[in-house]
Structure 1
Amino acid sequence: MKLSKEFFSEDAIEVSKKLLGKILVRKINGTKLKGRIVETEAYIGAIDKASHAYGGRKTPRVQPLYGPPGIAYVFSIYGMYNCFNVITKEEGDAQGVLIRAVEPLEGLDEMAKSRFKKDIGELTKAQLKSLTNGPGKLCIAFSITKENNWDDMTSDEELYLEEPSSKYTLETIEMVETTRIGIDYAEEAIHFPWRFYIKGNHWVSKK
């Protein structure tokens, strides 16, 4: 079942936790790709110097951050890699969740071709481990680009999030709360414990 707009209407911290174990779905080239979300980070513009919207910043790049809950916000880092975020709370509030890592479930051959130009059986153990264990990596594997900005994942059929089996809930997984990665510029915000991941999962980017 696709996640509803109501699911995303809470603050980014709560949604970051609730997204662990949920399923990212991407339909591309006639193939359905699926991955279990295993690592997330929360960003809250009003109080967070790591957020692109800190201080009420409104540029063309960050406009999706101010959009309605459940839409996609995709931005690039180092001019090379995309990062995929889900907008939360309410329109105008600039809160979002970065999807940092997923555990690949379906469509692995398509993911391998996108990431390494190889069939899944040709990947080394190191390549297989790094297929989707980071925000830029999963965007390449799932063919998520800036063209997906503003996609409403509560209604879109090409990119959305759905419920997993009952095995994966906040009650049945062990969640780790820790600090975020790659935000050394963010002063006191580097200490916010706003990164969440499933303990022991092989696909988490950094433990």
Structure 2
Amino acid sequence: MDYSTYFTNNTTSAIAADLIGRPLTYHDGAHLLGGYIVEAEAYLGIHDRAAHSYGGHRSPANEGLYRTGGTIYIYSQRQYFFFDVATQALDEPQGVLIRAIEPAWGIEQMTTNRSGKSGVLLTNGPAKMMQAFGIHDKKWNLHFLSDSPFSIDLSETQKKRAIEIAAGTRIGVNQSELEWANKPLRYYVAGNPYVSRMKKRDYAENNGWQR
């Protein structure tokens, strides 16, 4: 399946859940870096009060959401950068934020990029993941996935299977908007230590993957 089909042929929530366990990689020109997606959040467009496109807001900063599904949308908050992929058809501004990966490729270089931070601290959050990739700008914003150094492997044979894909509330959503703050639109591997804010007592055997 190609990216344009994958990222437009289902609901954004279903896409976010299906991305769990898929390999996400980035080639920095010298190294292949990446891991298995363990956490992803769905943002549902103009009616979603937590979405950057809520109310139809459109600007150069969030244009990536309005592009065809499979387009990269990179945004920044302070000095941190975040990696999203647009979903749905052109001008239907929905997307998925990749929050965390379990490292599998280029771990040594990613550790260097994170100034020596290792273990779960390497990639257990969206800004940490981008730092691990060595990305500190929006260079690849608005590029289609297949025209970038990023890759999400959509083959079923390469997908890791979670024992349980849990759904919970999104992180960092304004609690004054309780309806949207409480919607279970964050999907993650139950018990995986690389999931944001996963407590040690909740770590699962084999990191929550099927054997």
TM range (shorter): 0.7 to 0.9
> Are positions 1:65 and 2:55 aligned together?
no
Structure 2 residue 101 is matched with structure 1 residue 102: yes
Q: Separation in 1 of the partners of 2:120 and 2:130?
A: 15
RMSD, aligned α-carbons: 1.9
Identity among equivalent pairs (%): 35
Deviation at 1:49, TM superposition (A): 0.5
Aligned 8 A contact 2:73 2:84 in 1:
yes
Q: CA deviation at 1:11?
A: 2.3
How many residue pairs get matched?
195
Check conservation: 2:75, 2:138, Cα contact below 8 A.
yes
What does 1:146-161 correspond to in 2, within 5 Å? 146-153=138-145, 155-156=146-147, 158-161=149-152
Q: Is the 8 A contact 1:151 1:159 kept in 2?
A: no
CA–CA distance in structure 2, aligned partners of residues 23 and 38 of structure 1: 10
CA drift at 1:164 = 6.1
Equivalent residue for 2:157, pick from 152, 163, 166: 166
Q: TM-score, normalised by structure 2?
A: 0.86
How far did 1:156 drift?
Answer: 2.4
Structure 2 counterpart of 1:83, one-letter code:
F
Question: Equivalents in 1 of 2:176, 2:87: separation in Å?
Answer: 21
Name the structure 2 match of 1:44. Answer: 44
CA distance in 1, matches of 2:67, 2:93: 7
Alignment match, 1:113: 112
Choose the corresponding residue for 2:171, options 181, 194, 202. 181
Q: Could you state the TM-score of these two structures normalised by the residue count of structure 1? A: 0.87
Paired position in structure 2 for 1:17: 17
- Structure 1 runs (4+) deviating above 2 angstroms are 163-170
Write the mapping of 1:60-99 to structure 2, written as runs, cut at 5 A: 60-77=60-77, 79-99=78-98
More displaced 10-residue stretch of structure 1: 141-150 or 10-19: 141-150
| Unmatched runs of 5 consecutive residues or more in structure 2 | 199-211
Q: How far does the alpha carbon of each residue in 1:17-57 deviate from its partner, in whole angstroms, 9 at most, with x for none? A: 01000111110131111210000000012211100100000
More displaced, 185-194 or 36-45?
Answer: 185-194
Q: Conserved in 1, the CA contact under 8 Å of 2:140 and 2:148?
A: no
Please give the alpha-carbon distance, in whole angstroms, between the structure 1 residues aligned to 2:63 and 2:148. 23
Contact 2:86 / 2:95 at 8 angstroms: preserved in 1?
A: yes
1:102 and 1:3 map into 2 onto residues whose CA distance is 22
SS in structure 2 of the partner of residue 160 of structure 1: strand
Q: Which has the higher contact order (CA 8 A, sep 6+)?
A: 1
Aligned mates of 2:183, 2:59 — CA distance in 1: 25
Unmatched tracts of structure 1, length 5 or more? none
SS at match of 1:192: coil
